[in-house]
Amino acid sequence: MITPRPPEEFDRKHWISAAWSLGARGQGIHVAVLDEALDPEDPHLAGSVEEVVDFQDGAHPNPDSHGTNVARLIRMWAPECRITGISIFPGDASMPTADYNRSVRDAATKAVRFCLEQRPAIRIINMSFDVPRGRFLGFGGCSPARRCRLCTAVNDARAMGVLPVAAAGNRGPREDTSECPACAEGAMTVGALLSRAERQAYEQAKGPERRNFGTSWSAAYVSGAMAALMSAGPDCSLAEVQDAYTAGCSTIAGGTTLGRVNLVVALSHLVGMEQASVDVFLERVAAATASDWPATLAGKGRVHDAILMLLVHIQRAPLRLGELGLAGELMARLDRLVPWAEVHAGLARRAEAIRGQLRPDP
């Protein structure tokens, strides 16, 4: 069995392995992957697959299937989570498009209902696929006024405390491009961010090559991140976990869209940060100051992340609890260490907001 580990640069951006050291490894969390048949013998999955269920006749496990790769990515974030693979795609891809889509919708609906009946409970349902809403059919297709059976099942799952994570699809960034089940109100719908070069490569890719891009992978990342957070806060509600995930995300497009998540920041919002972790981050900032501040972008990124963690901790713990003396002491230590003019402007603004809260009222 291969223990999954994120690539170094990816890990640095998202603080995944740092969250593992704080107890967020996906332990005790069961994730269902509704997709092509996954291979339970894949070395990246061996020992983690609870079962493989087939809702389509003739679907065979494939070591390089879309489902296998999605499950690998989930475990890259939450290496101790349990996986149930559920096959929802017909073995015959040559059938008429309308029949194929109907078959996928029916199988996916049954799969979601199946997930709600399982014990131990499935906590997350990953759906890195879509089927057309049927906007051009006589009945008007799936809409907020009349949800299809798949989206109805997804909404029921959310109401029962199970998190449905759905890929938004790769037709954006135009509005109204998400299909079922991503358009369901209960789904945590996930888009993707591509650089201009990545977008161009996606447009030039054909068929299976497009699997290396887009929202299928993003949905798997979010499922894995949510599994990690759930494992660290087993008594937290689904809304609390999702709020913590959101708090750990950067924002883009003028603050209207969530971007990259820092898993440790999200974790601190969910369960707080132990004093030992505070000391580790302070030591990282102090070491950077002693070495005349990092000159490289990667070095600055690591220090910026440590400063962000400390500022979030001050806001979430002593300030929120009214312990102004402790909050002031930590802020004073940071002020002695950090050349605020040389850090990211967003960090400097957050620090100034904290100082404003610590100043006595005139």
Reported as half-sphere exposure (CB side, CA atoms, 13 A), residue 41 has a value of: 4
Residues 211-257 have pLDDT tens digits of 556 899 999 999 999 999 999 999 999 999 999 999 888 876 555 56
**What is the Cα–Cα distance from 245 to 229, expressed in whole angstroms?**
8
Residue 341, Cβ density class (10 Å: 0-12 exposed, 13-18 middle, ≥19 buried): exposed
pLDDT at residue 97 is higher than 50 = yes
**Does the pLDDT of residue 305 top 80, yes or no?**
no
pLDDT category at 9 given cuts 50, 70, 90 is confident
Instruction: Using the predicted structure, report yes or no on whether residue 186 has a pLDDT greater than 90.
Output: yes
Neighbouring C-beta atoms of residue 64, cutoff 10 Å: 11
Q: Does residue 139 or residue 12 have the better pLDDT?
A: 12
Poorest-pLDDT segment among 24-33, 225-234, 291-300: 291-300
Question: Which of the four pLDDT bands, split at 50, 70 and 90, describes residue 95?
Answer: confident
Mean pLDDT across the chain: 85
- The CATH topology of domain 8-236 is Rossmann fold (3.40.50)
Please state the domain extents for the chain.
8-236, 272-358
- Which pLDDT value is given to residue 138? 45
pLDDT digits (tens, 9 = 90+) for 32-81: 999 999 999 999 998 999 999 999 876 666 777 899 999 999 999 999 99
